[in-house]
């Protein structure tokens, strides 16, 4: 029987998650990976790292991919030039344990690209590597955490794990995935994207797009097992949902949300790091919060993958008619 219930004593689990999450994010956001810019050798190293993690968890690969790699052409634009570079989404899946429900897929997604190296033309001695620990090292670390836990606790429905490229260049990786989807698009019943720009409240996580969707049982009502409160994006920041990968799926009619680290407003604690060279996994990074954030993402995912009734768009949602068109109901 599948269980998403957390043990009463979470300390050992959180301690293990902290060590694993710290290792992932310190590597992915290290100076050696030079900000994971699409088309760079360092981005390829990051992709290979994800592949090795997927393989170690025993994730299956689709026949339409090359050992988890889904080749994606990413167009890079500057004020003076345009070029297309060869990149990869990294895609794997775990087949559901139920003989009928396994034909339904949930997608867990996070982008692993960032901005790369941007020299400071004013101060040549300043740090020029945009490491992307919070954006989106936290999201991709949570994806890896969930993949490992699902590999040990097989869900009823199938789960696709999607690490996208080209998000910073206009969600190109997610757009390519849905256009070249390895499963029928209408077999995807839900998407949990994981993306953010930082945190200024470590007592909670934020969820974008949740107000548009019906759930048979709300898996994040009040506190979840990891002890973190779950709240929708603040009303004045709801627009942020449309600026990430999840919107690509929503516009196809697939119920989708974005999970983000805790924030109550865009203040100095956020602006200090977002899209800046200071966004590093250094001594000031809260690794204990990262561990709880990762576990919370898994707990939500597990609850939905094993729920009795699938999530659906609320009537009146911008995407309700698209959902009817996609699913025929």
Residue 20 region by backbone torsions, left for phi larger than 0, else alpha for psi between -120 and 50, else beta: alpha
Mean pLDDT throughout 269-286? 96
Q: What percent of the chain has pLDDT over 90?
A: 86
| Least confidently predicted of 40-44, 66-70, 217-221, 279-283 | 217-221
- On whether residue 323 sits in a domain, the answer given is yes
Number of domains forming the structure of the chain: 1
Give the β-pairing of 213-214 and 129-130.
unpaired
- On whether residue 5 sits in a domain, the answer given is no
The CATH code of the domain that includes 263 is 3.40.630.10
- On whether residue 300 sits in a domain, the answer given is yes
What's the predicted TM-score (pTM) here?
A: 0.96
pLDDT of residue 124: 66
Domain coverage including residue 270? 11-327
pLDDT of residue 10: 78
What's the CA gap between 263 and 278, in Å, rounded? Answer: 18
pLDDT of residue 256: 98
46-102: pLDDT as tens digits: 999 999 999 999 999 999 999 999 999 999 998 788 999 999 999 999 999 999 999
Element (H, E) at 148: helix 138-152
pLDDT of residue 5: 60
228-251: pLDDT as tens digits: 899 999 999 999 999 999 999 999
Mean pLDDT for the chain overall:
94
Mean pLDDT throughout 8-15? 83
Query: Taking 70 as the threshold, does the pLDDT of residue 221 lie above it?
Result: no
Cα–Cα distances (Å) from 147 to 53, 68, 91, 102, in that order, read 9, 14, 11, 16
Query: Taking 80 as the threshold, does the pLDDT of residue 135 lie above it?
Result: yes
- On whether residue 3 sits in a domain, the answer given is no
Mean pLDDT throughout 214-226? 68
Element (H, E) at 32: none
110-132: pLDDT as tens digits: 999 999 999 986 776 689 999 99
User: Which has more confidence, 257 or 125?
Assistant: 257
| Least confidently predicted of 10-14, 70-74, 186-190 | 10-14
- Residue 136's nearest CA partner among 95, 53, 64, 197 is 197
What's the CA gap between 13 and 6, in Å, rounded? Answer: 9
- On whether residue 1 sits in a domain, the answer given is no
pLDDT of residue 120: 82
pLDDT of residue 329: 84
Q: What percent of the chain has pLDDT over 70?
A: 94
- On whether residue 117 sits in a domain, the answer given is yes
Query: Taking 90 as the threshold, does the pLDDT of residue 220 lie above it?
Result: no
First-to-last C-alpha distance (Å) of the chain: 30
Query: Taking 80 as the threshold, does the pLDDT of residue 224 lie above it?
Result: no
């Amino acid at each position: 029987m599948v269980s998403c219930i957390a043990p009463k004593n979470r300390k050992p689990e959180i301690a293990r998650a902290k060590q694993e999450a710290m290792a992932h994010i310190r590597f992915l956001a290290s100076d050696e990976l030079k900000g994971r810019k699409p088309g760079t050798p360092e981005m390829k190293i990051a992709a290979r790292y994800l592949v090795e993690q997927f393989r170690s968890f025993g994730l299956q690969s689709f026949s339409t991919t090359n050992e988890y790699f889904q080749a994606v052409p990413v167009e890079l634009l500057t004020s003076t030039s345009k070029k297309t570079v060869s990149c990869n989404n990294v895609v794997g899946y775990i087949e559901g344990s139920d003989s009928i429900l396994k034909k339904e897929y949930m997608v867990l997604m996070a982008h692993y690209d960032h901005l790369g190296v941007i020299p400071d033309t004013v101060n040549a001695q300043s740090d020029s590597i945009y490491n992307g620990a919070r954006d989106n090292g936290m999201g991709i670390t949570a994806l890896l955490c969930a993949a490992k836990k699902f590999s040990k606790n097989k869900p009823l429905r199938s789960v696709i794990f999607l690490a996208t490229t080209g998000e910073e260049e206009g969600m190109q990786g997610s757009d390519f995935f849905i256009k070249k989807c390895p499963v029928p698009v209408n077999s995807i019943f839900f998407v949990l994207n994981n993306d953010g720009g930082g945190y200024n409240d470590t007592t909670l996580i934020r969820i974008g797009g949740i107000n548009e969707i019906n759930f048979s049982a709300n898996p994040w009502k009040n506190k979840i097992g990891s002890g973190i409160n779950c709240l929708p994006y603040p009303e004045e920041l709801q627009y942020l949902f449309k600026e990430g990968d999840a919107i690509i799926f929503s516009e196809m009619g697939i119920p989708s949300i974005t999970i983000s680290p805790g924030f109550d407003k865009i203040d100095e604690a956020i602006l200090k790091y977002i899209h800046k060279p200071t966004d590093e996994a250094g001594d000031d990074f809260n690794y204990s919060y990262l561990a709880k954030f990762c576990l919370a993402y898994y707990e939500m995912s597990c609850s939905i993958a094993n729920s009795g009734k699938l999530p659906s768009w609320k009537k009146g949602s911008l995407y309700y008619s698209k959902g009817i068109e996609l699913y025929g109901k």
